Structure formats: structure tokens, C-alpha cells
Structure 1
Amino acid sequence: MMIRVVYDEYQTGKVHDYLLDALIMQRKIVGFFRSDGYVQLDHGPVRGSGGQYHGHDRRRMLKAA
């Protein structure tokens, strides 16, 4: 899947999703777009950067009684 990103020169482009983590770690991008909107790396939460989800977990298997 392609993800729209904003590079450090404030130019936009599209990259494959598997490249996103490397671009973030190398500080090559300042933000990217996801389904719920734009994420500015210095201001918004990104993958694996913490936080706990307290809502319904779709992936959790229910134990049979």
C-alpha cells in the first residue's frame, strides 16, 4: 500500500508502507497521512510510540465457556 508523506523540504510524495518506519527513524519525513488524517511527527502519535488502547479488541479471541 502507498502512503502519502511530507518530506523535510515540505514536498509531498508517496512511499510503500514498509518504508515508513525507516523514513521516520532517518528523519527524512516530517509527517504522513493515514486514514484519520495528517500526522506531524513532532506532535502526533505514530506506530509503536506508546499509548494504551482501552476499547474493544477485535483481534482478541474469546474463550469458549
Structure 2
Amino acid sequence: MKWLRERNGDGLFDKGGVVVAAGERAPVMRSTWNALRDLGVVDFYGPAHKPRARLRLTGAAA
């Protein structure tokens, strides 16, 4: 969460499932973000044809 917060709290998944935010690749894999989503800390979103392409911190992450 700290890593994403320091990069504006928003990122996107690359083809390998790694989050890219502010031009940097996250040091964790997709499974970590899935676990944080299950805890309500991050939210996946995106266009209708790919609704889980991006993620952002939720208010619970504050």
C-alpha cells in the first residue's frame, strides 16, 4: 500500500500481471493485489471490455 500511495494511489496491470504506477513496476505480484482487494484496501476498475485492468487505493487504505 505504501508503494502505491507514494505513486498517486493508482496503477495499471501490465501483460505479466505486475502493477505499473508513475512509470515504475511494483515489487509485488498480482496475488498480493488480489489479497488487498479482498480486504477492501484496493479497488479494481477499468473500461467495460477489461474491468480489472487498473487499481486504486480505497478510503479503507487511509
Normalising by structure 1, we get a TM-score of 0.29
Kindly indicate which of the two structures has a greater share of residues assigned to strand: 1
Kindly indicate which of the two structures has a greater share of residues assigned to helix: 2
Normalising by structure 2, we get a TM-score of 0.30
Structure number with bigger Rg = 1
